[in-house]
Amino acid sequence: MKKLYPSAEAALEGLLADGMLIASGGFGLCGIPERLLDAIRDAGVKDLTFASNNAGIDNEGIGKLLRTKQVKKMISSYVGENKEFERQFLSGELEVEFCPQGTLAERMRAGGAGIPGFYTKTGVGTQVAEGKEVKVFGGQEYILEEGIFADLSVVKAWKADESGNVVFRKTARNFNVPAATCGKVCVVEVEEIVPTGSLDPDHIHLPGVYVQRLVLGAPYDKKIEFVTTRERETA
């Protein structure tokens, strides 16, 4: 199966539709699928639901699609650092399903494993538990959370071979693995592609069986969410 595509646009051809659920990897601006998100924006699809740790920042990551009003709903664990996100949520333009970070990762992982739901203590007694089934195990309450089954997964990796075996780098591994596994189709943009067999099997984070399409996204500019400086100290 040929998995390598010449561009992000080509890698997404035939996969995009209005109203779809997309699982997107990344943590802040680390490990976000920049090229694929740009291609989704340029395709003009709308009424999208994104399951992602966060929505990037203004004009970066999913924040770009918020600007173009292509996102209908966010399933996220962190909703700060994005003024447009805040504006749309407070004005009722954007639906937000807040999900604790560990629960969100497990919901994606569960979807990738074919598990429709699981019980967790996280969120019991809070707004997170509203409307959810509660069961008692060992004398303690747990709430039912549903697995996430996305129409499409878009993730970013450090290195991959031509068979789609993937290696992530440091923090970029955080949400990319569960996000990759829970989609019907997984598209990976990667900084470097090497011949099949070049990667040590023990170092592979995402097996190629989960990956349908690859695109080389490099080069990348390193983006920083906040630049914090201090005045130079003088003697």
User: What backbone torsions phi and psi does residue 4 show, to the nearest 5 degrees?
Assistant: -85, 125
pLDDT digits (tens, 9 = 90+) for 168-196: 999 888 899 999 999 999 999 999 999 99
Q: 4-116+148-216: what CATH class?
A: alpha beta
pLDDT digits (tens, 9 = 90+) for 32-54: 999 999 999 999 999 999 999 98
pTM of the full predicted structure?
A: 0.91
Check: CB of residue 180 under 8 Å from CB of residue 22: no
Distance (Å) of CA 25 to CA 36, 131, 177, 220: 11, 27, 8, 16
pLDDT at residue 140 in the model = 97
pLDDT at residue 44 in the model = 97
pLDDT at residue 178 in the model = 96
pLDDT at residue 8 in the model = 97
What is the CB neighbour count within 10 angstroms for residue 80?
Answer: 10
Which residue in this structure is represented by tokens 């923090």?
A: 171
Look up residue 128 and give its two tokens: 């997170």
CB burial of 127-140 (b: ≥16 within 10 Å; e: otherwise) equals ebbeeeeeeeeeee
Look up residue 116 and give its two tokens: 């429709």
Instruction: From 194, 152, 188, select the one nearest 173 (Cα to Cα).
Output: 188
Low-confidence ranges of the chain (pLDDT < 50): none
Rounded Cα–Cα distance for residues 36 and 221 (Å)? 15
User: What contacts 227, CB < 8 A, 6 or more positions away?
Assistant: none
pLDDT at residue 234 in the model = 72
pLDDT at residue 226 in the model = 63
Look up residue 2 and give its two tokens: 């040929």
What is the CB neighbour count within 10 angstroms for residue 17?
Answer: 13
pLDDT at residue 229 in the model = 79
pLDDT at residue 233 in the model = 74
Look up residue 74 and give its two tokens: 């966010």
Domain regions of the chain by residue span: 4-116+148-216
